[in-house]
Amino acid sequence: MSHAKLSPSAAARWRQCPASPELESAYPDIPSKASKEGTLAHLLLESSLLVGLPPVEFMTTVSTKGPFQNVHDEMIRLINDVYHAVIKLEGHLYIEKRVNPGRILGVGDDLCWGTADIIVTQPEHNKLIVADLKFGRNPVHPSSDQLMLYALGATALADYNIEQFELIIYQPRLHKGISHHLLAAEMNSFSRNIHQSVLATQNNPQQIAGDNCFWCKAKPDCAPYQLKIIKDSFD
């Protein structure tokens, strides 16, 4: 699976450490057991929405030897709840839609793009909804840089004036769904700030160690991170 150099899912990391995208590009992308499970949960939700069947019904129609062979009962039950929450959203539904926040930011389509799980346009309310499924247990807030970038890119789908945004995280192992609401002015402010973060990654970017190093593939060979570890051991 290809990824943008400035992936929205890694935005918290490259905003903290502008050098991280370039450094991580030298390392292979090896999916963990948890990430494989998350990918499968996404596939189950996407497939169920596309055919219009709740996961508990959809799984009776597919082979257990294909891509769904590792789907387990807990996953079916939890994704079934997310399915019913999504279909209650009013408006035009986009499923697993590629969005290009880089285009909105004026840095091109290839540098910063991603795939939003759920987008719903509501022209009658001048509103745009973007939702993301997280199947893990590490809490994620809907005001994350990732979801904000998805929403920024999704504005290209709206042929109306967007006055308000709703960002939703569905994390069924923790909750039924958490929303974050913001106005267009707040999104404009985010756009200006994230644009500066994007520019910081381009020319002689700095290596800066911090809280978001945990997920960085380059940390074993990163001098600032190793120094941080030493300093933290004395605190």
pLDDT in tens, 138-156: 999 999 999 999 999 999 9
Q: How far apart are CA 61 and CA 223, in angstroms?
A: 52
Entry pTM: 0.94
Q: Which amino acid is at 208?
A: I
Q: How far apart are CA 209 and CA 224, in angstroms?
A: 6
Question: Are 82 and 97 contained in the same domain?
Answer: no
- Give burial (CB, 10 Å; 0-12/13-18/19+) of 137: exposed
Single out the residue of 199, 206, 144 nearest to residue 6, CA to CA.
Answer: 199
Question: Are 112 and 196 contained in the same domain?
Answer: yes
pLDDT at 1: 53
Cβ proximity of 92 and 65 under 8 Å: no
Q: pLDDT digits over 179-215, tens only?
A: 999 999 999 999 999 999 999 999 899 999 999 999 8
Q: pLDDT digits over 55-91, tens only?
A: 999 999 998 788 999 999 999 999 999 999 999 999 9
Question: Are 128 and 195 contained in the same domain?
Answer: yes
User: Region 83-108: what's the mean pLDDT?
Assistant: 96
Question: Are 46 and 145 contained in the same domain?
Answer: no
Question: Are 79 and 137 contained in the same domain?
Answer: no
**Total tally of structural domains belonging to the chain:** 2
Question: Are 63 and 115 contained in the same domain?
Answer: no
Give the structural domain span for 108.
Answer: 90-204
Q: Which two tokens stand for residue 92?
A: 């035009």
